[in-house]
A and B are shown apart, each in its own frame.
Chain A
Amino acid sequence: MIEATQETRAGWLVVAVKGRADAETADQLESALRSALDQHAKVAADFRALAYISSAGLRAVLQAARAAQEQNREFAVCGMSDPVKKVFDMSGMHHVLTIHGELPC
């Protein structure tokens, strides 16, 4: 289960993601982030309510970051819980993503 809701805050389109980003829900996550990138020049993924992420979820975030680069958009990830952040760190995502602890980005 994964839910994504949009809100504009301080010049960013914030996509708040709730639930689990696993192999079954990764496509939904990627669509939600890509759809936001089609609408706005600055997109932040708010992961405060993201309970879990696997490599499939990471790939969805990576694909969104690539789409942002191709479309010349700003893309950031914010508010990860410690276990989710650990998965990002182990995968070296900080080399390719803008990661913020707090909102707004």
Chain B
Amino acid sequence: MVLDGKLSELARLTAEAERFCREHALPVDVEFDLHLALEELFVNCIRHGACEGLTGAVEVRLALLPDAVALEYADRGASFDPAEAPGPDITAPLAERAIGGLGLHLVRQIMRDIEYHRVDGWNRLRMRRPIPPEGT
């Protein structure tokens, strides 16, 4: 799916991820993590990656593999490799807690095999969320 660079598109992204998960009867925790990864990447691009106001700023594709969901995400924002973004200090006391950096930290925690390429002005990311075998 293609999204414009505005926060109100988040509802459409959420609905599409929900449709995909229902169609493939995915477990609740897998659905939760897909929503989380997609929101964090999309919102990060709008707030920090210069996607705000761009038409067709973001492309998202979900595909079912035998043991995982493959997520492909691309945006036309500023060149940005999430693997190189500094992580937040998650042990800092309340008053010193930084407000930034948490979203991508969560993406790196929940997703596997994150690959980044900068191609023709696009940030292209591929990653996987494993699906645990039934009964575990």
Contacts and interface: CB of A to CB of B under 8 A. Distances in A.
Interface string B107-121: 001100000000000
B40 A62 contact: no
Given A87-B36, A95-B90, A96-B97, A23 B7 contact: yes
Chain B contact residues, majority secondary structure: helix
Interface string A14-50: 0000001011100000000000000000000000000
Chain A contact residues, majority secondary structure: helix
Determine the interface band of chain B, counting residues with CB < 8 A from chain A: 20 to 34
A87 B95 contact: no
Contacts of B36: 52, 54, 87
26 contacts: A20-B14, A22-B14, A24-B8, A24-B10, A52-B32, A52-B36, A54-B43, A55-B40, A55-B102, A55-B103, A56-B43, A56-B103, A59-B102, A62-B94, A62-B97, A66-B97, A69-B95, A83-B29, A90-B105, A90-B106, A90-B110, A91-B88, A91-B102, A92-B90, A92-B91, A95-B91
